[in-house]
């Protein structure tokens, strides 16, 4: 139990997926300029990462390892993720049109979000058990969601700042992210 708590804390703050592992940067920079977009994308990523890593864990240890097909993991994982996103999109569209309105646009984009494939590859690399994988995936993606939402607030404020023309937009965003990464370095001392 203690082990799982440490893992949750580490994956949420210390090894934050955006600020420390550099996964999902494209969507982080692309979507964080508006709060509503950031919230929608964050929740969609949370759902997809948690579900897909459970699925890839099962496939890896129940099919690929016994069949000695582990060298195929990149291809299998990306297909599983793409298929799962498609099914999730159809399911949400059918059962909850209002949720589809909020998340629907972000779902197709998630297939090519490196955070999703990244988490699946990382739990294999670290030889996590199933419960560890669930905790790791849930808190890593929550870390993504938290950062992208906090960052959208910062970027909304940056519109009013007198930034030199060449640094407006992405360069200023990257520099702000650098300061945030420095702050998150402080969490290393906590465990």
Where along the sequence are the contacts to other proteins (CB under 8 A)? 19-26, 29, 71-75, 78-79, 82, 111-114, 116-118, 121-122, 125, 164-167, 170-175, 177-179, 181-182, 185
By beta-carbon proximity to other proteins, the closer residue of 41 and 122 is 122
Q: How many CB atoms lie within 10 A of CB 117?
A: 20
Please report how close the Cβ of residue 101 comes to other proteins at its closest, in angstroms: 23
**CA distances (Å), 165 to each of 63, 152, 162, 174, 178, in order?**
54, 20, 9, 15, 20
Q: Is 126 helix (H, G, I), strand (E, B) or coil?
A: coil
CA dihedral (2, 125, 82, 57) in degrees, to 10, reads -50
Please report how close the Cβ of residue 176 comes to other proteins at its closest, in angstroms: 8
Please report how close the Cβ of residue 137 comes to other proteins at its closest, in angstroms: 15
By beta-carbon proximity to other proteins, the closer residue of 1 and 189 is 189
**CA distances (Å), 76 to each of 71, 91, 107, 180, in order?**
10, 22, 20, 35
Question: For the chain, what is the total number of helices (H) and then of strands (E)?
Answer: 9, 0
By beta-carbon proximity to other proteins, the closer residue of 5 and 79 is 79
By beta-carbon proximity to other proteins, the closer residue of 34 and 185 is 185
Please report how close the Cβ of residue 170 comes to other proteins at its closest, in angstroms: 5
């Amino acid at each position: 139990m203690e082990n799982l708590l440490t893992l949750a804390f580490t994956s949420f703050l210390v090894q934050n997926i955006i600020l420390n592992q550099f996964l999902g940067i494209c969507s982080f920079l692309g979507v964080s300029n508006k709060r509503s977009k950031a919230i929608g994308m964050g929740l969609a990523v949370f759902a997809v990462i948690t579900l897909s890593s459970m699925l890839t864990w099962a496939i890896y240890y129940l099919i690929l390892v016994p069949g000695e097909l582990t060298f195929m993991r990149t291809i299998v994982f990306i297909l599983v993720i793409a298929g799962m996103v498609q099914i999730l999109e159809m399911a949400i569209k059918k059962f909850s049109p209002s949720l589809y309105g909020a998340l629907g646009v972000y779902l197709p984009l998630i297939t090519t979000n490196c955070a999703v494939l990244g988490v699946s590859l990382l739990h294999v690399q670290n030889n996590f058990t199933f419960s560890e994988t669930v905790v790791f995936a849930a808190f890593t993606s929550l870390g993504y969601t938290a950062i992208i939402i906090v960052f959208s607030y910062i970027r909304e404020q940056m519109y009013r700042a007198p930034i030199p023309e060449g640094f407006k937009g992405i360069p200023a965003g990257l520099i702000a992210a650098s300061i945030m990464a420095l702050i998150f370095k402080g969490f290393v001392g906590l465990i």
